[in-house]
Structure 1
Amino acid sequence: MTATYRNPVLNADWSDPDVIRVGDDFYLTVSTFTKVPGLPILHSRDLVNWTIIGHAVTSGYDDVRPGCGVWAPSLRHHAGRFWIFWGDPDAGICWVSAEDPRGPWTEPHVVKPGLGLIDPCPLWDDDGQAYLVHGWAKSRAGVNNRLTLHRMAPDGSGVLDEGTLVIDADLLPGYRTLEGPKLYKRDGVYWIFAPAGGVEQGWQSVFRAESIFGPYEDRIVLEQGGTEVNGPHQGGWVDTPSGEHWFMHFQDRGPYGRVVHLQPMRWNGGWPVMGANGEPVPGGPVPVPGGEPGAPAVSDDFTGPELGLQWSWQANPDPAWWELRDGRLRLTCVPGPDDLRERPSVLGQRLPGDPCAVTTTLTLEGEGRAGLAVVGFTAASVGLERTADGTVLVCGDGKPVPVEDGRPVTVGARVGDGALVTFLADTGEGLREIGEPFQATQGRWVGAVLGLYAAGSGAGQAIFDSFTVDIER
């Protein structure tokens, strides 16, 4: 029986994916903006079942800066090394490199400094020359909808010229917000795969030329059409060991973020045809038979020497914030903004794209407050707080419920269709709904986050038993 898959193959916020194959192994990375650690590395043997194997960036900003940081990376393998290029719109184009995708990775190197430089992609040509294409962020550079190509030093140390405007989409009828270029060469022809039209309603275009500097001709190769997959675009082209071609791209799903779809790709008349004649498919045969089932981790029993690879902080973490001990996570109730959206010490992970139930058991020792939160443009939480009158269970604007000091309390959330959240708590009579339902919302270029937090003067500590996510599929 032929194994099949259904889209999305990564049903959570894996934004701006890029994918490569090295031998029989596939690797994927995505945008992480200001999350720390950033640039997760995912591995698969069949393009459908993916697991997280590490991160390429381990530091970022010291404060929360929504929408900044790591934008739209490109992943490549060249000269026996893995390379990831990305644009930081406030710093320039950067890269890291490693022999092993699990690390260690080099410290970030800025190959081209400047404002508004985004979405870079390198290409090492057959003659030893290297090139770098990138887009522009209008918010910083004042322009967008165009792609610039540089000659680049083969070792990535810097660009070698002022850049050539190879595609000006202002001159193409109907184009807006051309960005996210991926540069390839096939049978002597240069290709730039690039999305346009914006993340919610956009499409995928490809451009081809006999010379890397153009002129390029364009064609739209994937768009929503009569399907329910809005804005199918921005991703990477990859082949299988047997010679089949595939395209991985995102779909913006609001509070769930940018989920990843897999499209078959064939060639017709010298052009790629994606999906079902240019429209997204709901699924199909697994590209490479025999792969092991797998998915990015969501639950964590806190027994490992480190946090699970699904976790990240909202800014650079201080080692004093957390500790794993005796199969539990201990978060110190540290000072910081009361608004969880602005607090660096929120430990979060992606909100699953399917309905799910989340639970953890929390004990509050000493002064402070702590709990489980859902954070996007808006935020809400359920948890414990030590007051002058003792410990209380709090959820939104609801009436606090007294709890015995030092007593473990199970808290949780049920996330239903449309990312409507109902918080839960067990005060001795089993898990029950508490507070008013909360509509999760997306953040700045990201989906909502499931988070754990502990806040206070530093005199208290929150102890979390295993964090469990049950996903309904």
Structure 2
Amino acid sequence: MTWSDQSITRRAALATTTGLTVGALLPPDPARAAAPDPAASYTNPVIWQDFADIDVIRVENTYYCSASTMHYSPGAPVLRSYDLVNWEIAGHAVPVLDFGSKYDLNGGRGYVRGIWASSLAYRPADRTFYWLGQIDFARTHLYTARSVEGPWSRRATLPQVYYDAGLLVDDDNTLYVAYGNGTINVAQLAADGRSQVRTQQVFSTPSSIGTLEGSRFYKINGNYYIFLTRPANGQYILRSTSGPFGPYTLRQVLLDLPGPISGGGVPHQGGLVRTQNGAWYYMAFVDAYPGGRMPALAPVTWTSDGWPVVQLVNNAWGRSYPAPAVPPPPRQVTPLTGVDTFDGTALKPRWEWNHNPDNAKWSVDNGLTLRTATVTGDLYWARNTLTHRIQGPTSTATVQLDHSAMRDGDRAGLALLRDSSAWIGVKRDGGATRVVMVDGLTMDGSWNTTGTGTERAGASVPGGRLWLRAEADIRPGASRPGTFSYSTDGVTFTRLGPAFAMGNDWRFFMGYRFALFNHATQALGGSVRVTRFELSTP
């Protein structure tokens, strides 16, 4: 017997599981349960990379997690794990941000728009994964796939705006959505998910609390629960014993709880999930800029009257806990760090573009070729900038770059990319090639460019091949340094330029990323080839 993480879909004979289940008080399947290993433990954050607004489910023996990606493309990554601790990126639910030309950097820009908090669910009746999210406060989109690797396709565009939606697959396979900011609503979708049947307000947040949002919708032991965030320091839960439309009562889950990252924020805005042997966990994110929002995991127990309680360590979210008792994994997940030689003909799912790429201007063929796609002096307007999350607390990205096909006016390199950015790379001007370190690339609070960069150091380089390196310390704190160096042989690296202080303003939401770029300032036609990228930790 298996369970669904959002409901018991068939109480008599259940074939598939999505992890958070009504079956909290049902006995575990002894064939599936694993005995706890008292010596095993895990350390928070379980993922020290930027994955925010988490929704987490279980399907049979596999866990899946989704996250926000704003203006990055493809969007809405889906991560996979077999133990809730070790995760890999399996795919993206939104293959392209086809929501307007601004996501193509065409006449506009989509910074801090795009994929916000969304929801991931699995429907056993049709063996299909569902992703639901609203874009630009205008419409809600529903994507589906039979496998998280894809292909994902848009099943419906709903005219309703389900802000910070939580999708529930009920026992009878009915689709419900909890959503809203302050005012919380529940909608019922048609059986195919393509239209709305009804919607109803179910809760209004009292002024003494402030704002509640970030809905996650569950059915547990016959009761309906809406898990809600008070940004950015609290978590609350609504419960209805009378059906999905309420009435609901409210209880605080946590408020101002010290988190597991020194200098970071309170864990919040995540999801609940149930293991195969009946244990419960809450996976939330921790604001930890400049790196972003990092997932942390804590066990949850339930009171006798049906409310969740996060298990604390010394009155705080624990830095470590006993490892979840789960069956042995069928394989090891793909690490989030390591070497990518761009083998094959497709990018691995660890990569996301800054806005949609011009697909005619890049290719993968046992190496990554980036042809200039934009003539601009502003990296924030340049298409085909390819990004990779930074691994915390400190990590190093090293790139092997063949720049022999660059043209005059071209700029190519490795950046620390956010609303305040810096880079190391190659300038080709007047037939001469120089390696330079540039900072002072900035945007204002409306995400308009206010600085296109100032060269801080440079040197002539021979030949057509170069190794570029960026080191990032994303621990929250005063210095937050990023440093740059280069090598002509891949062995001896020379520091270039001053340390760059990465910004920690939360309003850009996304954390810093390593970014590979190549753009023209005079005319298109040049290219670079990246043959190796390595993300390493001390």
TM-score if structure 1 supplies the norm length?
Answer: 0.91
Identity level (%):
31
Q: Which residue of 1 aligns with 2:7?
A: none
Distance in 2, matches of 1:334 and 1:131, equals 43
Deviations 1:53-95 (A, max 9, x none): 2122111121231111111121111122111111213332211
Distance in 2, matches of 1:356 and 1:297, equals 9
Q: Which residue of 2 aligns with 1:413?
A: 470
2:417 counterpart of 1:375: yes
| Contact map agreement 2:374 2:519 (CA 8 A) in 1 | yes
Q: Which amino acid aligns with 1:426?
A: S
Q: Which residue of 2 aligns with 1:103?
A: 150
2:531 counterpart of 1:465: yes
Q: CA deviation at 1:430?
A: 2.0
Q: CA deviation at 1:469?
A: 1.2
- Judged with a 3 Å threshold, the aligned counterparts in structure 2 of structure 1 residues 302 and 125 are, in CA distance, closer, same or farther, namely closer
RMSD over equivalenced CA pairs, Å: 2.1
Distance in 1, matches of 2:221 and 2:168, equals 15
SS at match of 1:320: helix
What residue ranges of structure 2 are gaps of 5+ in the alignment?
1-36, 98-102, 439-454
Q: CA deviation at 1:305?
A: 2.1
Q: What does 1:179-218 align with in structure 2 at a 5 Å threshold?
A: 179-196=213-230, 198-199=231-232, 202-211=233-242, 212-218=244-250
Distance in 2, matches of 1:391 and 1:62, equals 30
- Judged with a 3 Å threshold, the aligned counterparts in structure 2 of structure 1 residues 469 and 127 are, in CA distance, closer, same or farther, namely closer
SS at match of 1:341: helix
| Contact map agreement 2:374 2:383 (CA 8 A) in 1 | no
Distance in 2, matches of 1:226 and 1:157, equals 42
Q: Which residue of 1 aligns with 2:257?
A: 225
Deviations 1:175-197 (A, max 9, x none): 2231111111112211110111x
Deviations 1:240-270 (A, max 9, x none): 1111111111011111111000110101132
| Contact map agreement 2:234 2:266 (CA 8 A) in 1 | yes
2:193 counterpart of 1:156: yes
Q: Which residue of 2 aligns with 1:286?
A: 323
Distance in 2, matches of 1:224 and 1:432, equals 44
Distance in 1, matches of 2:202 and 2:316, equals 27
| Contact map agreement 1:356 1:471 (CA 8 A) in 2 | yes
Q: Which residue of 2 aligns with 1:22?
A: 59
- Judged with a 3 Å threshold, the aligned counterparts in structure 2 of structure 1 residues 219 and 298 are, in CA distance, closer, same or farther, namely farther
Q: What does 1:44-443 align with in structure 2 at a 5 Å threshold?
A: 44-60=81-97, 61-63=103-105, 64-78=109-123, 79=125, 80-107=127-154, 109-114=156-161, 117-127=162-172, 129-135=174-180, 144-161=181-198, 163-169=199-205, 171-173=206-208, 175-196=209-230, 198-199=231-232, 202-211=233-242, 212-227=244-259, 228=262, 230-269=265-304, 270-276=306-312, 279-289=316-326, 290-291=328-329, 293-294=332-333, 295-297=335-337, 299-325=339-365, 327-364=366-403, 365-367=405-407, 368-388=410-430, 390-396=432-438, 397-404=455-462, 406-416=463-473, 418=475, 419-427=480-488, 430-441=492-503
Distance in 2, matches of 1:127 and 1:58, equals 30
Deviations 1:193-222 (A, max 9, x none): 0111x23xx111111121222232212213
Distance in 2, matches of 1:452 and 1:460, equals 15
Q: Which residue of 2 aligns with 1:8?
A: 45
TM-score if structure 2 supplies the norm length?
Answer: 0.80
Distance in 1, matches of 2:255 and 2:90, equals 32
Distance in 1, matches of 2:147 and 2:266, equals 34
Q: Which amino acid aligns with 1:230?
A: G
Q: CA deviation at 1:272?
A: 0.5
Distance in 2, matches of 1:310 and 1:128, equals 33
Paired residues, number: 454
Q: Which residue of 1 aligns with 2:450?
A: none
